[in-house]
Amino acid sequence: MRRRSLFALAALMLAAVGLWAAVWRAPQPGPPADRPIPLSDASPLKVVAMGTSLTALYDWPDRLQDALAHCLGRPVTVTRIAEPGRPVTWGRDQIDTVLAENADLILIEFAINDADIRDGVPLAASIDTHAEILNALRAAQPRPQVMLMTMSPAHGLRGLIRPRLWAHYQSYRDLAGRFDTGLVDAYPRWLAQPGWKDAFADGLHPTAEATNRVLLPAILNNLGCPTS
């Protein structure tokens, strides 16, 4: 009887997961909805990258610094204000630190953590908090350029606990239009990669090699430094 109950419980859990996945099935995002921006002529060019582990734990900011300097023919510095596991509410609390950098360009990505149903930020609150950040940056003197970034997908358990990640990424597209910011729309680029899940050993964090292949060129292309 006990074994039968365990089997019944397991079947119920599988059914619940299947129903969850069906209800929250992400729509196909379509082609990238990039919004390129021209870089300022500041020299040196100062860039701040705000975000999550997808910024803090990778070398793409360092590679971006070198690639932009080579492309522009002038000094470039890229500073990270990013920590693993942090949502956009943490980013809002870093605004004074960000503004103190007097950056010419701010890159922003928090959607991957906001979408986590365990300790993230509900979609409406995430949109409002991003708007707070964008308003603060827009009011700064001198006013920095801003580039929002949709990042990579998730799968497996990490994907199941982010059932509306696609909606958080859609909010970045909407916010970019609303605030007239730049946008690097990397999410559909990832989904277009054959066997993209193979690059995500833990279901959430892509390999550094895949990130440099997919994300870095997308950023450079949207900043006027095409890679191909």
Model confidence band, residue 24 (pLDDT cutoffs 50, 70, 90): low
Helix (H) or strand (E) holding 45: strand 45-51
- Asked if residue 77 has pLDDT above 60, the reply is yes
CA dihedral 27→32→33→39, nearest 10 degrees, is: 150
Tokens of 85: 């596991």
pLDDT (tens digit per residue) in 45-64:
999 999 999 999 999 999 99
Average pLDDT over residues 74-100: 98
For each of the domains in the chain, give its residue range(s) and CATH number, in order of start: 40-222 (3.40.50.1110)
Q: What is the pLDDT of residue 129?
A: 98
pLDDT (tens digit per residue) in 156-169:
999 999 999 999 99
- Give the contacts of 25 (CB within 8 A, at least 6 positions apart): none
- Asked if residue 5 has pLDDT above 80, the reply is no
pLDDT (tens digit per residue) in 6-17:
555 554 554 454
Decide: residue 153, CB within 10 A, 0-12 exposed, 13-18 middle, 19+ buried: buried
Residue 147's φ and ψ, nearest 5 degrees, are -130, 110
pLDDT (tens digit per residue) in 116-126:
999 999 999 99
Taken as a whole, the chain contains a residue count of 228
- Asked if residue 199 has pLDDT above 90, the reply is yes
